[in-house]
Structure 1
Amino acid sequence: MGLHPLGFIVPLFVLLPNLIFIFLPPRNAPESLSSTPLIFTLLERAGQVTCFMMPILFGDLLAAEPLGGSAVLMVICLLIYYGCWVRFYRRKREFSVLFTPWLGIPVPMAVFPALYFLLLSYWLQSWLFAVPACLFTVGHLVNSWSVYQQIRQYRN
């Protein structure tokens, strides 16, 4: 366990678009959306915090691992995720675009960060990273799918 610059970079790559989102929020967000059961929000938040903190705390572990196929797939997930953010800003920050399918992939802005952290746990062969990645994935996908379904119903 130890700090290393790479440990800060891995979660920062996923956070960067979200930081821009703070200053350029979505337009036309529904006034109210029904929420999923609280357990999914708790799973998502617990997974988020741990997925962002684990690489920082175990940065030396990341730095010691040779780059492999999982790291390449992580970069691909990240590039697709950034592409989804570009799509969001090109479409004038419409709220619904955050959940719009891409190439048949539902809620891609939830799928690709989840895959990114799952691949990180696979790359490190670490259950310590896999557990929070799974928690985040379940919570994030369920919550995002719920919003997507509500948006679809609202538009129809």
Structure 2
Amino acid sequence: MGLHYKGFLISLLILLPNFLLLRFAPRSIPKLTSTSILFTVFERIGQITCFVLPILYGRKIAEQPIDYITLLMGICLIIYYLCWIRFFGGGREFSLLFKPLGPIPIPMALFPMLYFILLAYWLHSYLFVVPALIFSIGHFVNSWSVYTQIRR
């Protein structure tokens, strides 16, 4: 355990495009029904822990060898960034946040989930697996709910 810039980087890389939403909000946000509060709580708890744990365990992250798992994490980031480019390039329409990428539904939800699950696997850490799964469950259910409401 210990701080290291690589721990900050792991969290920052996935959060970076989201910071742009603070200045450039989505357009045409439809009226949506909310999902279960349980899944929202799961998502928020998972988000907080998935973003904080890499920072706290930065030294462990810095000690890990670069391998095929880090390559897969990088691919997840690239696809995630491409979806963000599609969103901003498409006029920031809310529906673009949930638009499928080929056969992949809700890619802007799935690729961050995969990123954190791969991080847990890369670190061989149950401490990271639990928040990654909690985040994934909440994020998937909430995103899928919005996706199905938009498609109607």
- Shorter-normalised TM-score: what interval? over 0.9
1:36-86 superposed Cα distances (whole Å, 9 cap, x missing partner)? 111100000000000000000000000011011110000000000000000
Trace 1:2-151 onto structure 2 (pairs within 5 A): 2-30=2-30, 32-151=31-150
How far off is 1:124 after superposition?
0.5
How far off is 1:89 after superposition?
0.9
Q: For 2:32, give the aligned amino acid.
A: L
Q: For 1:9, give the aligned amino acid.
A: L
How far off is 1:91 after superposition?
0.8
Find the aligned partners of 2:97 and 2:42 in 1 and give their Cα distance.
Answer: 20
Moved over 2 A (4+): none
Taking only aligned residues, the RMSD between alpha carbons, in angstroms, comes to: 0.5
Find the aligned partners of 2:95 and 2:26 in 1 and give their Cα distance.
Answer: 9
Structure 1 stretches lacking a partner, 5+ long: none
Find the aligned partners of 2:128 and 2:97 in 1 and give their Cα distance.
Answer: 26
Find the aligned partners of 1:97 and 1:20 in 2 and give their Cα distance.
Answer: 15
Q: For 1:44, give the aligned amino acid.
A: E
Find the aligned partners of 1:82 and 1:90 in 2 and give their Cα distance.
Answer: 12
How far off is 1:21 after superposition?
1.2
The percentage of counterpart residues that share the same residue type is 56
Structure 2 stretches lacking a partner, 5+ long: none
Find the aligned partners of 2:71 and 2:102 in 1 and give their Cα distance.
Answer: 21
Query: What is the number of equivalent residue pairs in this alignment?
Result: 152
Find the aligned partners of 1:130 and 1:69 in 2 and give their Cα distance.
Answer: 18
Find the aligned partners of 1:104 and 1:111 in 2 and give their Cα distance.
Answer: 12
Find the aligned partners of 1:76 and 1:21 in 2 and give their Cα distance.
Answer: 22
How far off is 1:103 after superposition?
1.3
Q: For 2:33, give the aligned amino acid.
A: S
Find the aligned partners of 1:124 and 1:34 in 2 and give their Cα distance.
Answer: 38
How far off is 1:2 after superposition?
0.4
